[in-house]
Amino acid sequence: MTILENAPTQLSEVQKKQVRSVYQEIATEYDERIPGEGPSDDTFTESEHEFVLSKVRAGQKVLDIGCGTGRFTVPMAAAGARVTGLDISRAMLDVTEGKLAAQGLSADLHEGDMADLPFEDNSFDVVTSMLALMHIPLEDRERVFAEVSRVLKPGGKLVIGVKNSLFEQFFKGDRFAAVDITDVEGKTLLFTKTRGGNDLTAPWYSFSPHELKALFAASGLIMTHLRGNSTISAWLADEVLADSGVAGVVRALEKNLGDVPPFNYLGYHILVEAVKPGR
Ligand SMILES: C[S@@+](CC[C@H](N)C(=O)[O-])C[C@H]1O[C@@H](n2cnc3c(N)ncnc32)[C@H](O)[C@@H]1O
């Protein structure tokens, strides 16, 4: 093997180690960081939950990749799905395990890399992945989607939430950046205000709707639903949203326009469902 052939794999491994070490360090504070600080953050997370849980039914076999501290793993298990969670960070999985035990729930948790899924072909009804695919090194992207397609049953669904690089073409700053900031140019996510006092960085590559469509096509999946999350609020200055009348109207519009082109393409994040045909 030449050095050139070898180089991308080494880079990918270095990046994944970096991601893992950041989440190992912030696992016990992750849940305090993620909800953000304002009403727009609440709307954002409510919208994520509504989207994911509307796609999962009791009794289905669901795989949550990059499951972290179980923000979706736990509610899906509570909704009666038979959930498997996979994450590269053991410390994040430990938090999920604690939450499941506290609620008398169970899920099958695995430490591993989503580019190399330790599961049989055609074994899940749904694969979910929220806020995690952006950490995948670019060279691993096709492999991850191929792995997802492989483990999905025919007729199974992929349900994901990713940051929208189309939005980033206009807005370089992070709109709801209480505790982490996307550095669009540097392709990193910066975790600020950590308990340890250090700013931590991990690789971060957002997706455009068009990139997702291409990745789906290459792995035999078909996009069936594209919803924009924070389609309007993310574009408005905080001072505009501080007016409760304006904020209420924006909230109502977002509820109604989230699935409608072109607004869905303009979301700060995009929530996407794709199906593996064949049933
Ligand atoms: C921002 S957190 C999201 C966690 C959870 N899905 C949520 O929405 O709160 C990203 C998670 O992806 C995991 N992750 C990153 N790269 C991964 C990989 N290659 N394989 C598996 N998990 C990975 C991280 O360890 C981390 O727990």
Contacts of 44 (CB under 8 A, 6+ apart): 36, 176, 229, 230, 268, 269
Using CB distances shorter than 6 Å, the residues near ligand 1 are: 16, 19, 23, 34, 65-68, 71-72, 86-89, 92, 113-115, 130-132, 135-136
- pLDDT of residue 205 exceeding 90, the answer is yes
Give the pLDDT confidence score for residue 167 in this predicted structure.
93
Contacts of 241 (CB under 8 A, 6+ apart): 39, 40, 233, 247, 250
Q: Rounded to the nearest whole angstrom, what is the distance from the C-alpha of residue 136 to the centroid of ligand 1?
A: 9
Q: How confident is the model at residue 171 (pLDDT cuts 50, 70, 90)?
A: confident
Higher pLDDT, 92 or 198: 92
Nearest-atom index, ligand 1, CA of 71 = 9
Give the pLDDT confidence score for residue 181 in this predicted structure.
83
Instruction: List pLDDT tens digits, range 224-276.
Output: 999 999 899 888 888 888 899 999 999 999 989 999 999 999 999 999 999 99
Pocket test for ligand 1, best of 23, 116, 162 (most atoms within 8 A of CB): 23
Nearest-atom index, ligand 1, CA of 129 = 6
Q: Is 11 exposed, middle or buried (0-12, 13-18, 19+ CB in 10 A)?
A: middle
Higher pLDDT, 252 or 6: 252
Instruction: List pLDDT tens digits, range 96-121.
Output: 999 999 999 999 999 999 999 999 99
Q: Rounded to the nearest whole angstrom, what is the distance from the C-alpha of residue 127 to the centroid of ligand 1?
A: 14
Mean pLDDT of 49-59: 98
Q: Rounded to the nearest whole angstrom, what is the distance from the C-alpha of residue 111 to the centroid of ligand 1?
A: 11
Domain ranges of the chain: 3-164+208-275
CATH fold of 3-164+208-275 reads Rossmann fold (3.40.50)
Give the pLDDT confidence score for residue 234 in this predicted structure.
87
Mean pLDDT of 60-75: 98
Instruction: List pLDDT tens digits, range 77-91.
Output: 999 999 999 999 999
Q: Rounded to the nearest whole angstrom, what is the distance from the C-alpha of residue 210 to the centroid of ligand 1?
A: 23
Q: Rounded to the nearest whole angstrom, what is the distance from the C-alpha of residue 227 to the centroid of ligand 1?
A: 21
